[in-house]
Every structure is written in structure tokens, then in C-alpha cells.
A and B are shown apart, each in its own frame.
Chain A
Amino acid sequence: MLPKLVKFVLRTRFSRPLLGLVAFFLIYDTVIRAFTSGNAPEFSGGFSYYAVGSSIFFVVMSLLFGGLFVMKSDRDYLLTLPLRRRDLSISLFIAQFVGSGITILFLYGFYVAGAGDLETTIILVANLVLLACVVTSLGVISNILQTWKRVALAAALGLWCFSSILNFPFTPVSSFTGELVYGSIVLFGVASVVVPVALRELAYLELGSIRSLLRATSSEYKKNMSFVGKGPIRAIYSYHLSFLEMMGRVNIGGSTSYRAARVRTSTVLVVSVTAAAVYLFLTGLSPFTRLPFRPAVVVVPVFMGIITLVLMSQGTLSNERGWLAFTAMDPATYLRHLLFSRVISALAIIGPFGVADIILALLGIRAGAGSAIVLLVTVPSASILAAYLVARLGAVQQVREEGMMPGQFDLRQFLVILPTYVVVGLIFVSEISLTASIVIAAMLTVVSTLLMSIAGVWRGIAYRLTERGFV
């Protein structure tokens, strides 16, 4: 029964071409070992920073934005069937793994495959698989935790993992800094706690996560926005500048969830200003901690860029209602003002870091200038292009029910992530050379401005979205 159930669960959640691509990547990662033998991962530099940094990103994002690969039809049919809970739990865990945790294997597998000797390779591969299982499990567990517990756990785990950069050997990711034995033991320990919890949760979804999703908690807003006395355009800006909306398939670091939440922009601004102040202190102002944190000037814009691009591309349109907005006014006018207002609200997250980077540049830290340009110009312009691309390719899914997948994932939704990596590449280039950062920022600004100026493009987007059932 289990193999049939696994097949059913996978096929209902992922299209055949998407599963094919996943299989291809895994085979590619394995085969490439043959061509890269002898290029051992460098445990003291690039590989360690990359692997530890990315692992922190995955762990934190899974906890903050974790979601379930469960559809409404599961709630209505699959979960009511007389299936063995163990089979159900394993099948859903495999689906979660394919949908989220597996991203880790794509990103690090390439490096690990190049380990110098077989023993190191085996240990690192085992660590990666375990880490992928941990990230998968955290994505499930996040659904049963209250927000403050999720944030606290994410912060604690993030800091714990980060300590491996400071040569602390007992962390879940210290294998990537060369502590193969201690790192493996700690990671195994963490996995043996979180994986069973996630499996248990998946076995009784209807009593846990789904029940809490349906529970009518905090069903009222304490303070309502008012649109009285506002014209159409002012109403759009008033809405999107007051609140930062998290909506749609939040797909960050492989974690996937469907949420509809709004956070007051002023609250976001307070948090980001505080975080930027800490960042400025650690990277530029503190005489004691300056050196170990200096790479953050390069790393932070990249992560902030990815988060903004994902939020803008996936989240901008997922909550849109064509039958309301596109019939109330010209879709081109609506979409362009919507995008522009979202870019401004995204600056509430990244803007303070951009300002901190300007101060760093004035303090003589050269990378600060490039980072500031990236955060204040490149990322906002690129996020307009990202939102356009996702909508143009029909890869955006309208969220009609929170917590549930609106439909099957297909190759198209996966492939639209690729241009994001092009932008990330451009961000890296911008960090190396100030001239390059100015050229890239100018180029992306020109392209996005041109795109925004053509009304027909946005009317076409509205038609395309409607054709794909986005009403």
C-alpha cells in the first residue's frame, strides 16, 4: 500500500516534468562527482561560509514560513480514507521532502560531490540528507507553533548554527566547517528529535495543523483601514503602504506555505531599522567584532535581495482579485500602481540596510557603496521584473484557501525561480565592482521603467491571469 500511496501523493502534488527535473538534478549531482574528483571543499573559506550561511537561511525560513504540501481535497477525501497512519505520514513527509528539503541537495550537493576522499564525501552527503530532513521537519513543525515560538526557535537555531563560523564545533552544521564527527553527531541528534515530531504531526494532520488553520482565532482586526474620501489611486497606495502583505506561495529557501497575513508597515520599519542598526554596529562601528562580521556587508544584500524578489514575485498578485480590481479600473493602471506601491513597501524592509550601507561606505568600507546601490536601486527594479515575469509566465497561483496548496506544482513555477538566480548573480557582480553595480542598477532601472510605461503589457497580464483561472 505504501508505494502506491507515495506515488499518489507525489503525483497529485507535483507534475511529471517537475518530478523529472528533480530526478535529473539528483542524478546530475551524483554523476558530477566523477568529473570533479580531487576538488575538496575548502573548510576554512568560501564553502564553509556558503554552506553554513545557506543552512541558516533554510533552517530559519522553514521555521518562519514553513507550510504543508496538503491540498483541500486531502482534507475532504485523503484524510478520511481508512489508511494506516504510518503510511500516510511517510507519504506526506516524502512529498514535503521533495517540495522543500530537497533544495538543499541541489545547492550543496555540487560542492560535496567534489570532496577529496570517499569517506569525507559519504559523511558530507549523509549530513546534507539529514539537514534536508531537519529542514523538511521544521517546515511541518512550524505549523503547530505560535508565531512567537517560531520566531524564538528560528533565532535560537540560527544563532547556534552561526556559532560554527566562530569555530564552535558542536552545531548541526559544523560538518561544513570541517568538524565532521561532532557536526554529524549533533545533526543526527537534532534530526532524531524533529523528524519523529514532524512524522507524528503529518500522521494526524486533521487533528493538528489543519484544525488550527480552521480555528477562528483573532477573527477581527482591532483597527480598520479607512478609504473614505480617497480616490482610486490614493486608495491603492493607502492599502499597500499601510500594511505589508504576506500572501501566496511563500517560497523562501525551499519552504512553501500559503498564508494570508498583514503586518503594519510601521512595525516592519521599526524591526528593520533596529536590525540595520545592529548590522551597522557589527560591521562598521564596533572595534571588537568588526572583522568576523565584515562578510555580512556582501552577504546581507544577497539574502535581502532574494527575500524581496520572492515576496514581490510570488506575493504581489496571489491575493489579487481580478473580478474586483480589474473590473473597477483599467488593469494596466491598477497593476502598475500596485507594483509601485509594493516596491515602496518592500523598501521598508531593505531600505534601512541600504542606508546603513551608505554609512559604511562613508566610513571607508568599500563594499558598502555597492551594497547600498544593490539594496536601494537594483533589488527594487529587479523585483518589478520578477513580478512581471512570474505573472507573464502564468506561474502565480491565486490563494483562495489559506494553508492549502491551490493546485499542483509544475515545472513552470519551478523555472521562474531561475531568473531570480540571474539577479542574485548580478548582485554578486555588483558587490565586486562599484562600476558594475552602477551599470547593473542603471540597466535594471531602465528596463523596469520601460516595462512599467507600456500599458498594453499590463493589460495582457490581466487577460493572461484570467485565462489561468485567476478571477
Chain B
Amino acid sequence: MTFCIEAQYVTKSYGKTVALDDVSFSIPCGERYALLGPNGAGKSTTLRLLVGLLKPDTGTIKIDGHEPFSPEAKSTLGYLPEDATPYRTLSVRENLEYIAALRGVKNVADATNRFLDELSLREYERAKVGKLSRGNMQKLSIALALVHDPKIVLLDEPLNYLDIPTQERVFKMLKSLDSTQIVSTHIMSIATRLTNKVLMIARGKIVWNGTIDALKAMEVGDESIESVVARLMTSAS
């Protein structure tokens, strides 16, 4: 089995606060994982470490066999943080073209036009990002994370601010991607629709790792999957 994401004994602290404590996990290529955890569990830190925006205090991370900050890893990864804001002084089209150019995309115009159409951003292509609604800003952010057709996609609450038709379009789009995905979310319906496996994190430690089906199997009586997740998270803390 080939692993696209590998984290071994990773620890990350901010001052005296330990965000991740000796965390290890591996994600096989092509798998789709939901990253679940209560607020402040270390989900965003995990994604930032994987994408090379942060450096672990101890431990190692490999993205497709490379260090996260290497050019090889960067060309492989697509990342969307929570509440992402693109460049406010650029227009929608300028943002897409600029990031595509920075990423060395071969046909910048084609990639830009494809996402403008797929995410219904065409009518806003000349709009200043600072003047966009939060929903349209989120659509643009998703496009920016995917503009280079990444092999590994890390998304933090990707459906925030989106209306229901757009959510459906994004679901379809993400499902159609031939990529390894980690989706951090608090909403179980998103996790169950977009992924088939779960990495649960609480207080900086992995507390559960398995399939969505295994989670469902843990339901007692008419207990919902949300209740199971809540039970696992609380028992860990």
C-alpha cells in the first residue's frame, strides 16, 4: 500500500500550549478522510503542518514521500483553510490567474476559465475580492485550492457560507476528483458524504481512526452518528 500522507510522532506546541502531542497516522493514496474533533483539538494545526505552513517541533511528515516544504510536496498539495480570504486587492480572475502562475500551471487561462464556469464565478470575474459576498469568496477560495489539479487535497470546513445549490455543486466536484482528501469538518453529514474514513482528534491526540461504517456500527439503539462521535470525543477528554 502506498501512503500519500505520513505523520510520525509529530508534536507541535505554541508556547506552553501543546497543540499536537506525539501524533502518528498514515493515509493511503486515493483515500478520503474526515478530520473530526472538538474546538481547539488540533485539527487546523494538523492541516497546517501537513501543508508545510508550520514546522513540527518533533517528528516527521511526508507528503507523497517528500518533506512538506519541498517543491515536490507543494506541487502535489491543495489547501483550503477555514474562513479563507484570497487577495483582497485583486479581482476574482486576477486571483485565479496569479495563483495558477505562482504554481506554474501550464495553461493559466484554461484553468482559470474552467473554475470560473464550474463554480459560477464568471459574472464576478472582474469583481474586487474585498467586495464579494462571503459565499462567493468561499467559492473562489475553493477554486484557488484546486486550480493546479492537486493530487492531495486538504480542506478545512469547505462548505462554510455556501448556499445549498453551491454545496451540491462542490460535493459533486470534490467527489469527481481523483485525489487523496482530508476534510476537516464539524458537520457529520458532510463527512459521510465526502469521505469514507475518519481520523478523530481530541486534545492534540488521535483518539479514533477507522471507517465511517465502523462509526455507524457503534450506534446504540436510535443513537445518531453525531452522538457516537460526541461520545468518543468526550470520553477522550
Residues of A whose CB lies within 8 Å of any CB of B are 216, 218-221, 224-232, 234-236, 239, 243, 245, 247, 260-262, 319, 321-331, 334, 399-400, 402, 459, 462-463, 466-467, 471
Q: Within 8 Å CB of A227, what residues of B?
A: 94, 97-98, 100-101, 108
Give the shortest distance, in Å, between B98 (CB) and chain A (any CB).
Answer: 5
Cα-based distance from A234 to B108 in the complex (angstroms): 14
Cα-based distance from A239 to B94 in the complex (angstroms): 9
Q: Within 8 Å CB of A319, what residues of B?
A: 87-89
Can you name the residue of chain B whose Cβ is closest to the Cβ of A222?
Answer: B126
What secondary structure prevails in chain B residues at the interface with A? Answer: mixed
A231 touches B127 (CB 8 A): no
B87 touches A324 (CB 8 A): yes
Cα-based distance from A219 to B88 in the complex (angstroms): 11
Name A221's contact: one of B55, B86, B126 (CB within 8 Å). B126
Q: Within 8 Å CB of B99, what residues of A?
A: 324, 328
Q: Given the known A-B contacts A219-B127, A329-B74, are A224 and B91 also in contact in the complex, defined by CB atoms under 8 Å?
A: yes
B91 touches A327 (CB 8 A): no
A325 touches B102 (CB 8 A): yes
Q: Given the known A-B contacts A235-B102, A463-B55, are A260 and B109 also in contact in the complex, defined by CB atoms under 8 Å?
A: no
Can you name the residue of chain B whose Cβ is closest to the Cβ of A230?
Answer: B101
Cα-based distance from A228 to B108 in the complex (angstroms): 6
Is B144 in the interface zone, CB < 8 Å from A? yes
Give the shortest distance, in Å, between A31 (CB) and chain B (any CB).
Answer: 37
Q: Give the most central of B99, B101, B130, B144: most A CB within 10 Å.
A: B101
Is B62 in the interface zone, CB < 8 Å from A? no
Give the shortest distance, in Å, between A327 (CB) and chain B (any CB).
Answer: 5
A466 touches B126 (CB 8 A): no
6 of the cross-chain contacts (CB-CB < 8 Å) are A221-B94, A228-B109, A232-B102, A319-B88, A328-B74, A330-B71
Q: Within 8 Å CB of B71, what residues of A?
A: 329-330
B84 touches A330 (CB 8 A): no
Q: Within 8 Å CB of A329, what residues of B?
A: 71, 74, 102-103
Q: Within 8 Å CB of B86, what residues of A?
A: 321, 324
5 A-B pairs with the lowest CB-CB distances in the bound complex, closest first: A235-B101, A219-B131, A227-B97, A227-B101, A328-B102
Cα-based distance from A459 to B91 in the complex (angstroms): 28
Q: Within 8 Å CB of A402, what residues of B?
A: 88, 130
Q: Within 8 Å CB of B90, what residues of A?
A: 225, 239
Q: Within 8 Å CB of B100, what residues of A?
A: 227
Interface residues on B, range: 35 or more
Cα-based distance from A197 to B203 in the complex (angstroms): 52
Can you name the residue of chain B whose Cβ is closest to the Cβ of A245?
Answer: B89
What secondary structure prevails in chain A residues at the interface with B? Answer: mixed
Cα-based distance from A467 to B45 in the complex (angstroms): 9
Q: Given the known A-B contacts A225-B94, A235-B101, A459-B69, are A466 and B108 also in contact in the complex, defined by CB atoms under 8 Å?
A: no
Can you name the residue of chain A whose Cβ is closest to the Cβ of B102?
Answer: A328
Q: Within 8 Å CB of A467, what residues of B?
A: 14, 54
Tell me the chain B residues, 82-127 only, with Cβ under 8 Å from chain A: 83-91, 93-94, 97-104, 108-109, 125-127
Cα-based distance from A261 to B87 in the complex (angstroms): 11
Cα-based distance from A235 to B94 in the complex (angstroms): 11
Is B186 in the interface zone, CB < 8 Å from A? no
Q: Within 8 Å CB of A330, what residues of B?
A: 69, 71, 74
Give the shortest distance, in Å, between A26 (CB) and chain B (any CB).
Answer: 32
Is B201 in the interface zone, CB < 8 Å from A? no
Cα-based distance from A326 to B85 in the complex (angstroms): 14
Cα-based distance from A243 to B88 in the complex (angstroms): 13
Can you name the residue of chain B whose Cβ is closest to the Cβ of A220?
Answer: B126
Is B66 in the interface zone, CB < 8 Å from A? no
Cα-based distance from A235 to B86 in the complex (angstroms): 16
Is B30 in the interface zone, CB < 8 Å from A? no
Can you name the residue of chain B whose Cβ is closest to the Cβ of A236?
Answer: B102
Sample of 13 further A-B pairs with CB below 8 A, known A321-B85, A330-B69:
A219-B128, A220-B91, A221-B126, A221-B128, A234-B101, A235-B102, A243-B89, A321-B86, A321-B87, A323-B84, A328-B99, A331-B69, A463-B53
Cα-based distance from A134 to B40 in the complex (angstroms): 45
Cα-based distance from A61 to B122 in the complex (angstroms): 39
Q: Within 8 Å CB of B101, what residues of A?
A: 227-228, 230-232, 234-235
Cα-based distance from A245 to B126 in the complex (angstroms): 18
Q: Within 8 Å CB of B38, what residues of A?
A: none
Q: Give the most central of B83, B97, B100: most A CB within 10 Å.
A: B97
Give the shortest distance, in Å, between A48 (CB) and chain B (any CB).
Answer: 41
Cα-based distance from A220 to B92 in the complex (angstroms): 10
Give the shortest distance, in Å, between B154 (CB) and chain A (any CB).
Answer: 9
Cα-based distance from A325 to B89 in the complex (angstroms): 15
Q: Given the known A-B contacts A232-B103, A327-B77, are A466 and B53 also in contact in the complex, defined by CB atoms under 8 Å?
A: yes
Can you name the residue of chain A whose Cβ is closest to the Cβ of B108?
Answer: A228
Give the shortest distance, in Å, between B82 (CB) and chain A (any CB).
Answer: 9
Give the shortest distance, in Å, between B46 (CB) and chain A (any CB).
Answer: 13
Can you name the residue of chain A whose Cβ is closest to the Cβ of B82?
Answer: A471
Is B51 in the interface zone, CB < 8 Å from A? yes
Q: B35-57 vs A: 1/0 string, CB under 8 Å? A: 00000000000001001111100
Is B80 in the interface zone, CB < 8 Å from A? yes
A471 touches B81 (CB 8 A): yes
